């Protein structure tokens, strides 16, 4: 028995690997290196393209907290994303001097509240019924924004991007990119910490069998609310810098179907089981989309996502990371 | 002395169908109670009402001196009331050890004065798996298990919550003769460790071997309760099972 316990403890220690603090440091170094590399390319298009990919890592990871870990498929991504974006439009009109990270925090808080409320109203629904309710949420929020004159209504709103980046100098897009990288570090560190905590085990139990989870003592409703709130907050944060990125925001672009499709497709293609999946999916699919928009046409990139999604759902439902893990296990 | 579990005048309907009517049931601490009844007699509904999966419309359930009415299933589990499901419901994407980790993290650690962490949890999971003979499969997934191993996992997961009362809902259905003996031995061993056990079962041999007391449900009513040998000869029970 003692031998078994010791063996188990060894395994636990090996699996745990890096602590959370060490992991954040690694992420920060990686983000700094990536920023340095993008700056070394020295082309402002590189920043615009890389920003989109990093934004999708954040969005995909946010979706995965509810969709992958907890097993509740959210189709209402654009609602949360646009709430973040439009809260920045509101702040830009009222208090334009606020620094961008503060705007992101506000956008995240607004989306978190909507996530909590949506969760409370809809989490009695299971499976596909929950998904339909989130789809309805996206429609409701879009209708509200379209009819809200203060943020431009259907006409849209102009947000003047400052010429120069604060702190680091250079073009403003460099600053947007850096902030998005920082947000990415926060979101990835949170996702990985969840996976290794009691919360992550609770989410997995809910995903596998909600009644059995409840019988094992898991407060399923509370955990699901935590998941919808966190997931919503991160989606809102991902959307908050958008008005500065596009400089002109209207409901059609803020609520674009592309965001919803990509935020679901990227984790599914990369793998939903852990935090690596959304990164792989966003880099592969997002990278391909950027390449195709430049070389072929910007309309083709959605087609690519669709084709890849269908292929993966049929051939490799565990995603790229799942396939890689299987392959490694077989080699051992 | 007051009973560990006290069900009084419990009633549950599904629409116009009366599933349970005015059920009274007491279980003393340390007791082994068998609960039998024909299919559809309300056994599982009673378990679901006791465990909080369903809510009874009338009557009340008292457990260890606490009223359970209005508490959710997870709150009842934390108070010390565990159940196994009739059809095993393992967490399919988690290893066997991780399956047991859930009740430890959420039930045992939720109690005052108890907190397991890190290696202690892993050790406890392995200890529990060892008790049911599944220690060598700790890192496997539930889909690799045979039917009896699945039942054992189900019981081990219920035990991981460290309950005062365990309700085993048809833990032996579909098992072979030797496998039934194994599960009975396991349940009696748990009872020896101080856990009160309610066994719901169709296999009479198992019920008679296991139970100190036997209660019979027929069509949502309790028609007999007492010494197993006396109860099975009760004309009303015989009639319910065999007909006129």
Cα separation, B211 vs B227, in Å, equals 9
Q: Tell whether A197 is covered by a domain.
A: yes
Q: What is the mean pLDDT of each run of 10 residues along chain A (332 residues)?
A: 38 56 90 89 88 96 95 94 96 92 96 94 84 93 94 90 83 92 96 94 95 94 95 97 93 90 93 92 91 82 85 89 88 76
The order of strands in the sheet holding B66-67 is B17-27, B5-14, B58-63, B66-67
Query: CA of B114, closest CA in chain A: separation in Å?
Result: 15
- Cα separation, B192 vs A260, whole angstroms: 56
Chain B residues whose CB is inside 8 A of the A1 CB are 126-127, 130
For residue A287, tell me if it sits in a domain. Answer: no
- Segment B106-127 shows an average pLDDT of 88
* The pLDDT of residue A83: 96
Which residues does chain A have within 8 Å of residue B125's beta carbon, measured at their own beta carbons?
8
CA distance B159 to B161: 5
- For position B144, what pLDDT does the model report? 92
Q: Is residue A308 part of a domain?
A: no
Using pLDDT thresholds of 50, 70 and 90, give the confidence band for residue B244: low
| Inter-chain CB proximity B130 and A214 less than 8 Å | no
- Please tell me whether the interface predicted TM-score (ipTM) of this complex is above 0.95: no
B24 secondary structure, DSSP code: E
Helix (H/G/I), strand (E/B), else coil: B200: strand
Q: CA nearest A224: which of A199, A187, A242?
A: A199
The minimal CB distance from B74 to the residues A8, A201, A217 is found for: A217
| Residues of B whose CB is below 8 A from A197 | none
Q: How far is A238 from chain B (nearest CA, A)?
A: 30
In chain B, the percentage of residues whose pLDDT exceeds 70 is 99
Are A8 and B122 in contact (CB < 8 Å)? yes
> Is B113 within 8 Å of B176 (Cβ atoms)?
no
pLDDT in tens, B190-208: 999 999 999 999 888 999 9
Structure tokens at A10: 């060894």
Mean pLDDT of B131-155: 92
**DSSP state at residue A65:** I
pLDDT more than 90, % of chain B: 66
What domain count does chain A have? 1
Q: What is the mean pLDDT of residues B56-79?
A: 91
> Mutation test of the interface with chain A: which of B72, B76, B96, B106, choosing the one with the most A Cβ atoms within 10 A?
B106
Q: For an interface test with B, which of A1, A3, A7, A8 has the most B Cβ atoms less than 10 Å from its Cβ?
A: A8
Contact A217 B83 (CB under 8 A): no
Place of tokens 């009696």: B188
What average pLDDT is seen over chain B?
91
Best to test chain B binding among A19, A68, A202, A212 (most B CBs inside 10 Å): A212
Cβ pair B127:A216 closer than 8 A: no
pLDDT value of position A241: 95
Cβ atoms of residues B59 and B7 within 8 Å: yes
Cβ–Cβ < 8 Å for A179, A104: yes
Structure confidence at residue B159 as a pLDDT band (50, 70, 90)? very high
List of residues 6+ apart from B224 with CB closer than 8 A: B214, B215, B216, B231, B234, B236, B237
- Tell me how close the Cα of B171 comes to any Cα of chain A, in angstroms: 15
The residue of chain B nearest to residue A14, with distances taken between CA atoms, is: B119
Contacts of B122 in chain A (CB under 8 A): 5, 8-9, 11-12
Interface test with A, best of B104, B117, B119, B153 (most A CBs within 10 A): B119
Give the predicted TM-score (pTM) of the model.
0.90
Residue A25: alpha-carbon gap to chain centroid: 20
Contact yes or no for A11 and B90 at CB 8 A = no
The answer to whether the CB atoms of A5 and B72 lie below 8 A apart is no
Which of A9, A209, A217 shows the shortest C-beta gap to B89? A209
Stretch (H or E) spanning B26: strand B17-27
Q: Nearest residue on chain A to B130, judged by CA atoms?
A: A1
Which chain B residue has its CA at the smallest distance from A9's CA? B119
pLDDT-derived band at B2, boundaries 50, 70, 90: confident
Contact check, Cβ <8 Å, A8/B72: no
**What is the predicted pLDDT for the residue at A14?**
39
Tell if the CB–CB gap between A8 and B119 is shorter than 8 Å: yes
**Are A8 and B110 a contacting pair at CB < 8 A?**
no
Q: What is the pLDDT of residue A297?
A: 79
> In A1-75, which ranges are continuous DSSP H helix?
2-16, 20-41, 44-64
Does domain B5-242 correspond to CATH entry 2.40.110.10? no
DSSP for A232-298, please give it.
HHHHHHHHTTHHHHHSEE-HHHHT-HHHHHHHHHHHHHH-SSSTHHHHHHIIIIIHHHHHHHHHT-T
Indicate whether A213 belongs to any domain.
Answer: yes
* Domain hosting residue A123, numbered range: 18-254
């Amino acid at each position: 028995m003692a031998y078994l316990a010791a063996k188990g403890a060894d395994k636990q220690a090996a699996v745990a690997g890096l602590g959370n603090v060490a992991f954040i440091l690694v992420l920060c170094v990686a983000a700094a290196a990536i920023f340095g590399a993008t700056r070394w390319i020295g082309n402002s298009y590189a920043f615009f393209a890389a920003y989109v990919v990093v934004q999708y890592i954040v969005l995909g990871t946010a979706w995965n907290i509810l969709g992958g870990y907890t097993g509740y498929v959210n189709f209402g991504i654009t609602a949360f994303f646009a709430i973040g974006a439009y809260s920045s439009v509101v702040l830009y009109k009222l208090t334009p001097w606020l620094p961008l990270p503060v705007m992101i925090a506000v956008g995240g808080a607004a989306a978190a509240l909507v996530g909590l409320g949506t969760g409370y109203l809809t989490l009695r629904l299971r499976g596909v019924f929950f998904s339909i309710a989130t789809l309805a949420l996206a429609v409701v929020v879009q209708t509200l924004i379209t009819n809200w004159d203060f943020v431009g209504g259907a006409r849209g709103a102009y947000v003047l991007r400052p010429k120069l980046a604060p702190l680091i100098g250079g073009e403003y897009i460099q600053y947007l990119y850096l902030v998005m990288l920082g947000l990415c570090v926060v979101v990835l560190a949170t996702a990985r910490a969840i996976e290794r905590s009691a919360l992550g085990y609770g989410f997995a139990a809910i995903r596998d069998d909600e009644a059995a989870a409840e019988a094992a003592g898991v407060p399923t409703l509370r955990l699901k609310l935590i998941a919808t709130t966190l997931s919503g907050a991160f989606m809102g944060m991902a959307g908050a810098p958008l008005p500065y990125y596009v400089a002109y925001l209207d409901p059609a672009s803020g609520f674009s179907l592309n965001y919803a499709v990509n935020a679901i497709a990227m984790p599914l293609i990369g793998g939903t089981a852990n935090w690596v999946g959304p990164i792989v999916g966003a880099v592969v699919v997002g990278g391909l989309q950027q390449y195709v928009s430049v070389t072929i046409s910007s309309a083709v990139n959605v087609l690519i996502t669709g084709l890849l999604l269908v292929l993966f759902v049929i051939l490799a439902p565990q995603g790229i990371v799942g396939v890689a893990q299987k392959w490694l296990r077989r080699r051992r | 002395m007051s009973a560990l579990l006290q069900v009084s005048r419990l009633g549950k309907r599904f629409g116009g169908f009366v599933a349970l009517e005015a059920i009274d049931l007491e279980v003393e601490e340390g007791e082994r109670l068998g609960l039998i009844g024909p299919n559809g007699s309300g056994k599982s509904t009673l378990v679901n009402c006791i465990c909080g999966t369903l809510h009874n419309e009338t009557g009340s359930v008292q457990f260890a001196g606490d009223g359970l009415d209005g508490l959710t299933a997870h709150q009842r589990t934390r108070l010390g009331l565990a159940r196994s499901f009739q059809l095993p419901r393992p967490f399919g994407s988690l290893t066997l050890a991780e399956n047991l980790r859930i009740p430890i993290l959420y039930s045992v650690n939720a109690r005052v004065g108890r907190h397991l962490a890190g290696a202690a949890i892993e050790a406890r999971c392995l200890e529990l798996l060892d008790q049911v003979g599944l220690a060598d499969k700790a890192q496997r997934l539930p889909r690799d298990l045979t039917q009896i191993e699945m039942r054992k996992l189900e019981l081990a997961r219920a035990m991981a919550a460290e309950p005062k009362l365990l309700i085993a809902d048809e833990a032996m259905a579909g098992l072979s003769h030797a496998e039934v003996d194994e599960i009975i031995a396991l349940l009696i061993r748990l009872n020896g460790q101080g856990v009160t056990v309610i066994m719901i079962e169709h296999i009479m041999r198992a019920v008679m071997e296991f139970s100190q007391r036997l209660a019979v449900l027929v069509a949502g009513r309790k028609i007999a309760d007492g010494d197993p040998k006396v109860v099975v000869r009760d004309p009303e029970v015989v009639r319910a099972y065999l007909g006129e």
